[in-house]
C-alpha cells in the first residue's frame, strides 16, 4: 500500500466517522475495502482509534498545560469518571427494564449455532479435530478413530458413538452417520430426530435405538425402546419398528428383518447412561427389552436405566438421602426429592441363582461411579413400591423379600455413598431365597438447562478486560 | 424463566464490565457514537434473551461481541441517513478481519494515549471536546469561532496524525530508561 492509498483510506474513514460521507465516497470506500487485507487493516485501525477515543475515557488524560479543564483523571486507571456514571446508570436502567421485557416476549430463536455438548469421552482418539468434554458446537463432522464419545443435545437427545466412526451433525434435529456404531436416546419432546445412513433414514419417534454400519454396504437398525421409522431415501418404502425389532437395509434398498441382537451396542451402554466407571461385577443391562427381574447370577449385580430423565410430578421418597456408609436400619437417612426436580432412575438387581435346599448366603461387593450426583437410594419395600412410576415393565418391587436389609450383622447389606455423591459401593448379601433390589436416583437433565461449557472460539483473541 | 434476581444482577455486572469493549467493537462497523449506542442496546437485549446459553466459565466479552457483530450488520442493512454505508460483503470481511487483528489493535491503545498527550495544545482541545466531552461539532464551531467544515477537516488531519504517531511508536520500540 502506498502512502497515498493509506492517506485516502484515512480520509474516507474520517468522512464515515463524521457522517459526511457522500455516495461517491461510499462507493470508493467499499471498492477499496474489497481490495485487500492491508486496506481493511488500515481502515479498521482508523475506526478503532476513533472508537477508543470515543469510549475509553482514560485515553483522554490531560496535562497541566491543557487549555481546557480536564474531564478525566490524569491516571490511566480504569476508574470511571463522574461523566461515565451517567451512562452506566442509563445501562443499569436499560438492563433492569429488560427483565420485564424478556419475561413478556419469551425466548427469541438462537443466534448461536451451537446445539450440542460433548458430555463424556472414553479413550477417544480423533481422526478429525479433537473434541473435549464440555466443548459446545453446532454443525460439524466428527471422525472418531477409536474409543467412545457421548453427545448431549440441548433438546435432550443423546448420542453415543463408538469409533471408528464418522458422524456429521447437520442440525439439532438431523445427523448423518457414514460409518461406525451409534446409539441414540430421544426424550419426549424431541421426537422426529433423524439419522441418515448411506442406505436409510432412521426417524426417531421417542425412543432409543442403535445403528450399526460396520458391515460394509448395510445399515443395521435395532430398536431398544419405543418406536422408530425406517425410510428408504428416494422411495416410498417405510417401516415402523418397535422395541425388540431389528432390520437390515442393503444397497438394494430392501428392508430385511433380522434377529434382534443388541450385543454390538452393549459396550456403548454404560457411557450412554452417564456411568463413568464400575467394577467388573456390575453388569449393564441396556435399556432394551429384557426382564431384568428374571436374571439370576451369583457373580454379578445387574443394573439398567429406567427410561429417560423425568420431572417429578409429586415428591419422591428416598430411603437414603445423604452420603455415608449404611449398615444399620437406625442410621438410614430418609429424605425426599421435591416435586419439579429432574431425576433419572437406575435399577440395581442382585439375584443369586436359586437352589433347592439350604445354601450359603451369596455375597457380592461392587461399585459404580456416575457422571452426576446421586440424589439418593430407594431400598425399603414400601419406598420401592411407591417409586414404581419409573418402571415400565415392573422390576419385581412387589416382592417384599427383595428389599435391602440393614441388620448390621454378617447377613446384612451395606452401602456406601461417597461424599461427592457420585460413587456408590454395594456390599450385598442374599441369604436363603431372598434377592436384592434397589433404585438409585441420580440428578436428571432438564431439557432447557443452560450448557455447562462452551467451545472456545477465535474471539478470545479479543482482550477480555484490557487492563 | 429469568426471574432470579441473582442471575439478573450477574448479567448486569458482566454487561457493565464489558460495555466499553463491546462498544469499541461495534464502532468498527458503526462509527457514529449515537448509532453505536443504539446497536449496543439492541445487543444487550439480545444477550439477555440468550443469557441461559452463556457459560460463565468463558469470557463474556467475546461472547457479547459475537452478538454485537450480528446486531451491527443488521443495523447496516437498515436504510437511513447514516447507515448502509458499507456493503454487506464488505461488512462481513471487516468483521472477520477485526477478529483476526484484534491483538494488533489492542497494541495500539497504549501508544495512542501518549500520542494524544503529545498533540499541539489547540488540536488536543478539539479532540477533548469532540471525543471526551462528546460536544456536537456545531457547538465546538460556535465556541472556537470556526466553521464546522474547517473543524471536520481539522479532525481528519488530527486522526491521521495520531495514526502515524501510533505507527511510529510501534515501529521504534521504546528504550528502557
Compute the distance between CA of residue A34 and CA of residue B73 in angstroms, rounded to an integer: 16
Q: Identify the band that residue A380 occupies on the pLDDT scale cut at 50, 70 and 90.
A: very high
Residue A61 DSSP class: -
Q: ∠ CA B51-B57-B62 to the nearest 5 degrees?
A: 65
Q: ∠ CA A123-A124-A125 to the nearest 5 degrees?
A: 115
Q: Which residues of A fall within a CB distance of 8 Å from B54?
A: 450, 454
pLDDT, greater one: A282 or A445: A282
Per residue in A126-149, pLDDT tens?
Answer: 887 778 888 888 888 888 999 899
pLDDT at A227: 85
pLDDT, greater one: A242 or B5: A242
Per residue in A312-371, pLDDT tens?
Answer: 889 999 999 999 999 999 899 999 999 988 888 998 988 887 665 555 678 888 899 988
pLDDT at A464 over 60: no
B32 half-sphere exposure, CB direction, 13 A CA radius? 21
Compute the distance between CA of residue A290 and CA of residue A2 in angstroms, rounded to an integer: 77
Q: Identify the band that residue A392 occupies on the pLDDT scale cut at 50, 70 and 90.
A: low
pLDDT at A91: 52
> What chain A residue is nearest to B26 in terms of C-alpha separation?
A51
Top residue of B2, B6, B26, B27 to mutate, by most chain A CBs within 10 Å, is B27
User: Under a CB-based contact definition with an 8 Å cutoff, are residues A183 and A208 in contact?
Assistant: yes
Mean pLDDT of A169-190: 88
Query: Each residue's pLDDT tens digit in chain B (177 positions)?
Result: 444 444 677 787 788 778 888 988 999 888 888 788 888 888 888 888 888 888 888 888 888 998 898 888 888 777 554 456 788 888 888 988 988 898 899 899 989 988 998 999 888 889 988 888 778 888 888 888 888 889 999 999 999 999 999 999 998 765 544
Distance from CA of B141 to the nearest CA of A (A): 14
Mean pLDDT of A396-420: 86
Distance from CA of A42 to the nearest CA of B (A): 9
Mean pLDDT of A217-241: 86
**Which residues neighbour A30 within 8 Å (Cβ) at sequence distance 6 or greater?**
B86, B87, B90
Per residue in B54-96, pLDDT tens?
Answer: 888 888 888 899 889 888 888 877 755 445 678 888 888 898 8
Top residue of B128, B129, B154, B167 to mutate, by most chain A CBs within 10 Å, is B128
User: Under a CB-based contact definition with an 8 Å cutoff, are residues A345 and A440 in contact?
Assistant: yes
pLDDT at A41: 94
pLDDT at B174: 54
- The DSSP annotation for A346-358 comes to EEEEE-PPP-SS-
| A9 membership: H or E segment, kind and range | helix A3-18
Dihedrals φ, ψ of A101, to 5°? -55, -50
pLDDT at A375: 96
User: Under a CB-based contact definition with an 8 Å cutoff, are residues A200 and A219 in contact?
Assistant: yes
pLDDT at A467: 31
pLDDT at A288 over 70: no
Compute the distance between CA of residue A180 and CA of residue A71 in angstroms, rounded to an integer: 66
User: Under a CB-based contact definition with an 8 Å cutoff, are residues A213 and A194 in contact?
Assistant: no
Taking a contact as any Cβ pair under 8 Å apart, which residues of chain A between 96 and 115 contact chain B? 96, 98-99, 101-103, 105, 107-108, 110-112, 114
Compute the distance between CA of residue A157 and CA of residue A173 in angstroms, rounded to an integer: 9
Q: With CB atoms and an 8 Å threshold, state whether B85 touches A21.
A: yes
Amino acid at each position: 500500500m502506498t502512502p497515498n492509498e493509506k492517506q485516502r483510506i484515512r480520509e474516507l474513514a474520517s468522512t464515515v466517522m463524521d457522517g459526511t460521507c457522500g455516495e461517491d465516497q461510499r462507493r470508493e470506500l467499499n471498492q477499496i475495502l474489497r481490495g485487500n487485507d492491508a486496506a481493511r487493516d488500515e481502515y479498521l485501525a482508523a475506526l478503532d482509534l476513533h472508537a477508543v477515543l470515543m469510549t475509553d475515557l482514560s485515553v483522554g488524560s490531560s496535562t497541566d498545560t491543557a487549555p481546557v479543564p480536564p474531564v478525566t483523571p490524569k491516571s490511566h486507571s480504569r476508574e470511571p469518571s463522574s461523566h461515565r456514571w451517567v451512562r452506566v446508570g442509563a445501562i443499569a436502567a436499560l438492563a433492569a427494564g429488560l427483565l420485564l421485557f424478556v419475561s413478556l416476549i419469551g425466548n427469541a430463536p438462537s443466534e448461536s449455532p451451537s446445539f450440542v455438548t460433548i458430555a463424556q469421552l472414553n479413550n477417544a482418539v480423533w481422526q478429525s479435530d479433537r473434541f473435549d468434554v464440555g466443548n459446545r458446537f453446532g454443525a460439524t463432522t466428527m471422525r472418531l478413530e477409536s474409543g467412545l464419545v457421548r453427545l448431549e443435545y440441548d433438546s435432550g437427545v443423546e448420542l453415543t458413538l463408538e469409533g471408528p466412526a464418522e458422524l456429521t451433525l447437520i442440525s439439532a434435529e438431523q445427523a448423518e452417520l457414514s460409518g461406525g456404531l451409534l446409539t441414540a436416546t430421544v426424550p419426549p419432546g424431541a421426537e422426529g430426530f433423524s439419522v441418515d445412513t448411506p442406505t436409510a433414514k432412521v426417524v426417531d419417534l421417542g425412543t432409543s435405538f442403535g445403528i450399526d454400519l460396520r458391515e460394509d454396504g448395510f445399515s443395521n437398525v435395532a430398536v431398544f425402546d419405543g418406536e422408530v421409522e425406517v425410510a428408504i431415501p428416494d422411495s416410498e418404502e417405510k417401516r415402523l419398528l418397535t422395541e425388540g425389532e431389528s432390520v437390515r437395509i442393503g444397497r438394494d434398498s430392501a428392508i430385511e428383518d433380522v434377529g434382534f441382537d443388541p450385543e454390538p451396542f452393549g459396550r456403548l451402554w454404560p457411557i450412554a447412561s452417564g456411568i463413568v466407571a464400575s467394577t467388573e461385577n456390575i453388569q449393564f443391562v441396556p435399556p432394551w427389552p429384557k426382564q431384568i427381574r428374571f436374571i439370576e447370577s451369583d457373580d454379578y449385580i445387574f443394573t439398567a436405566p429406567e427410561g429417560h430423565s423425568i420431572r417429578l410430578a409429586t415428591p419422591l421418597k428416598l430411603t437414603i438421602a445423604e452420603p455415608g456408609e449404611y449398615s444399620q436400619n437406625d442410621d438410614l437417612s430418609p429424605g425426599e426429592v421435591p416435586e419439579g426436580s429432574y431425576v433419572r432412575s437406575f435399577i440395581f438387581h442382585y439375584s443369586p441363582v436359586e437352589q433347592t435346599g439350604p445354601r450359603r448366603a451369596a455375597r457380592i461387593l461392587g461399585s459404580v461411579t456416575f457422571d452426576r450426583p446421586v440424589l439418593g437410594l430407594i431400598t425399603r419395600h414400601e419406598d420401592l413400591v411407591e417409586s414404581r412410576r419409573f418402571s415400565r415393565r415392573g422390576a419385581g418391587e412387589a416382592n417384599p423379600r427383595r428389599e435391602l436389609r440393614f441388620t448390621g450383622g454378617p447377613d446384612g447389606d451395606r452401602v456406601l455413598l461417597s461424599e461427592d455423591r457420585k460413587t456408590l459401593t454395594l456390599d450385598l448379601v442374599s441369604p436363603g431365597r431372598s434377592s436384592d433390589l434397589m433404585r438409585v436416583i441420580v440428578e436428571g437433565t432438564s431439557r432447557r438447562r443452560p450448557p455447562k461449557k462452551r467451545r472456545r472460539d477465535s474471539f478470545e483473541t479479543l482482550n477480555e478486560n484490557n487492563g | 424463566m429469568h426471574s432470579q434476581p441473582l442471575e439478573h444482577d450477574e448479567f448486569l455486572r458482566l454487561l457493565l464490565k464489558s460495555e466499553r469493549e463491546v462498544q469499541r467493537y461495534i464502532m468498527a462497523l458503526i462509527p457514529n457514537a449515537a448509532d453505536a449506542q443504539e446497536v449496543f442496546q439492541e445487543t444487550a437485549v439480545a444477550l439477555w434473551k440468550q443469557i441461559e446459553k452463556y457459560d460463565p466459565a468463558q469470557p463474556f466479552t467475546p461472547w457479547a461481541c459475537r452478538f454485537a457483530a450480528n446486531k451491527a450488520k443488521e443495523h447496516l442493512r437498515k436504510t437511513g441517513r447514516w447507515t448502509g454505508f458499507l456493503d454487506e460483503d464488505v461488512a462481513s470481511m471487516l468483521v472477520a478481519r477485526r477478529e483476526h487483528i484484534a491483538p494488533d489493535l489492542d497494541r495500539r491503545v497504549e501508544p495512542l494515549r501518549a500520542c494524544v498527550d503529545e498533540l499541539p495544545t489547540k488540536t488536543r482541545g478539539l479532540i477533548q471536546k469532540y471525543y471526551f466531552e462528546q460536544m456536537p461539532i456545531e457547538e465546538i464551531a460556535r465556541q472556537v469561532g470556526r466553521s464546522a467544515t474547517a473543524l471536520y477537516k481539522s479532525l481528519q488531519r488530527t486522526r491521521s496524525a495520531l495514526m502515524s504517531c501510533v505507527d511510529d511508536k510501534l515501529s521504534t520500540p521504546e528504550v528502557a530508561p
